[in-house]
Each structure stands twice: as structure tokens, then as C-alpha cells.
Amino acid sequence: MRHLIDPMDLSVKEIEHLLDLADDIILHKEKYQEVCKHKKLATLFFEPSTRTRLSFEAAMMELGGNVLGFSSANSSSATKGESVSDTVRVVSGYADIIAMRHPKEGAPYAATRKVTVPIINAGDGGHNHPTQTLTDLMTIRREKGRLNNLTIGMCGDLKFGRTVHSLIKAMSRYENINFIMISPEELCLPDYIIKDVFEKKNIKYKNVRTMEEVMPELDILYMTRVQKERFFNEADYIRLKDSFILDERKLVDAKKDLCIMHPLPRVNEISTKVDDDPRACYFKQALYGKYVRMALIMTLLGVSADEDR
């Protein structure tokens, strides 16, 4: 039995299979709409995350399966002092697969020890969120046609943004990736990623302070939210925040086939006027998330369209 706790649990080959399957699901939805009949997904969300939860639930339903679960800890037994491990062990008698989100890092991993069904980490604190990473990889592959030979700009909060960290690690396994980090100094990439990933693997990267100076080079622009509370003082926040807001004006020199991504929810870091630009891929990205979760659920459950018919 396999779980998915860390995006790096999957080999490059396994990711390729998942993305191929997700592509096939998009092309042949009918083929897959009963493959999980009589199977149940439990969504155990110890902290709320509507988008992720609904994406998992839609994924399971489009495979013909059922969904049960909870959407926040206060509707769970956690409030009575039960351990996560106990909750998950009991639920594993009620469902065939579990998607679990928890504010505490490592909670999903701890849950795997006693469990008899596959667990998918749907986000554990600032740590991992592997289905977001799979969503990002699927978006890049579908929009650019490849996962190598890319210049990827990452913009905003690169210090705390786990999606950025995971995506860097995941992309570092492909050939000829060039990373450009666009952030205020206060929110730049942690040293350990620079050392353990970029330097160890001899990957090209640079840090810059504005989008404009690198825009013409970018194949991918990955935007993230800059949260006010990350700054030491209001003055710094006000001085810096505009540099990390994407608007139409900043896109003037961008490539015609730039792919603009964002894990969502967006607050104001991308102007809504950019939404109509064909390069804006973030709503497509949210949609791809459903398909890659369908592929993942099928893979972990060991079901396939062929077997089922």
C-alpha cells in the first residue's frame, strides 16, 4: 500500500504516469466515471481549506465514488482530546482512502503508521502539500508541453510559501531549469533550499527585486501571496508590496506564451484585469488540480479504467 505524504515520495517516472493518466481522464471522462463505484474517500480537514477539499471531493465523485468527512477541527473528535492517529485509524474502517489536512507538520505521516488504507497529505502546516505540487507540474506540462528547458520566475513570499519550496524541489529533477527568485529581501528563499537544491544539483538561479527586470526571460511566472503580517513594520510593507503585484503594465515585455500561475486563493497580488489575458493560467491550474487528484486516487486505490470494464 502506498501513501502520498511528501511530493518527493513519487519518482519522476511515477509522476509521468500520473500526469499521463490525468491527461487521459480529460480526454475520456466517460471511461472513468464509474471506476471508483462503491468506494469512499474520507476528507479529514483538521483545518479548513475549501478549495482543496472541494477539489478532492469533485475528483472522487467524477470517478463514481462517495465522499464523507469533516471540514474543520471543531466538527471533529479532536476537540475531545483524541489523537490524530486514533481518528484516522477509526476512519480507515469507514473509507477506502483518506485525504487529510492538518495544521501540524508531520501529522499525516504519523497517521500512516496504524492505518489500513492509503493516506493523501492534503497539506500539513507550512510543510508539504503534494497534490498542489502535482497540480503545478500538470499545469506546466500541459501549458508548456514539457517539464524541462524552462525559465521559472517565482514571485512574492518565497520564505514561507511551501508551494514554492515543493515546486522547486520537484522541478529540480528535470533538465535545464533556470530559477529566478523575485522577492523582497525579507521574504527571500531560505538558505537550505539554495544549498541543498540549487548548489548541490548545480542548478542555475538568481535573486532579483522586481518582476520587470526579468519578465522577458520567463516561461513561467509563479505568483504567491505576500501577507502583510510577514513584515516587521507597516512602512516596509507599503514600500514593497507594489513590486510584487502583477498587473497588465508589468506584462508588456513578457513572452507571448508566458504561463502565469498562482496556487490560489489570490487576494490582490494579481490584478483581476490580468484574468482575461490568455497567459493567465491560474484558474485552469485549479481545474487541473481536480484531474491530477483523480489520477492519484485511482493510482493509490489500484483501480484502472480497463480493469473496471
Positions annotated as catalytic residues are 51-52, 80, 101, 129
Contacts with its own copies, 99-138, as mask; x by CB under 8 A = ---------------x------------------------
Q: Is 196 in the site for its own copies (CB under 8 A)?
A: no
Element (H, E) at 182: strand 177-182
Phi and psi angles of residue 130, each rounded to the nearest 5 degrees, phi first: -60, -30
Interface with its own copies includes 290 (CB under 8 A)? yes
Decide: residue 100, CB within 10 A, 0-12 exposed, 13-18 middle, 19+ buried.
buried
Q: How many residues bind its own copies (CB under 8 A)?
A: 51
Mark the segment that binds its own copies (CB under 8 A) among 14-22, 40-48, 117-125, 204-212: 40-48
Among 67, 110, 188, 245, contact with its own copies (rule: CB under 8 A)? 67
> Listing from the earlier edge strand, what are the strands of the sheet with 204-208?
204-208, 177-182, 150-155, 220-223, 259-261
DSSP state of 94: T
Q: Which three cell numbers stand for residue 202?
A: 548545480
CA distances (Å), origin 259, targets 2, 44, 290, 302, 308: 32, 33, 19, 33, 36
Rounded distance between C-alpha atoms, residue 15 and residue 162, angstroms: 19
The mark string for 265-284 relative to its own copies (x by CB under 8 A, - otherwise) is: xxx----x--x-------x-
Q: Using CB under 8 A, pick the residue from 18, 35, 76, 299 that binds its own copies.
A: 76
**Binding residue positions for carbamoyl phosphate:** 51-52, 101, 129, 132, 264-265
Binding residues for its own copies (CB under 8 A): 33, 38, 40, 42, 48-51, 54-55, 57-58, 61-62, 64, 66-72, 74-77, 79-83, 85-87, 89-91, 93-95, 114, 264-267, 272, 275, 283, 286-287, 290
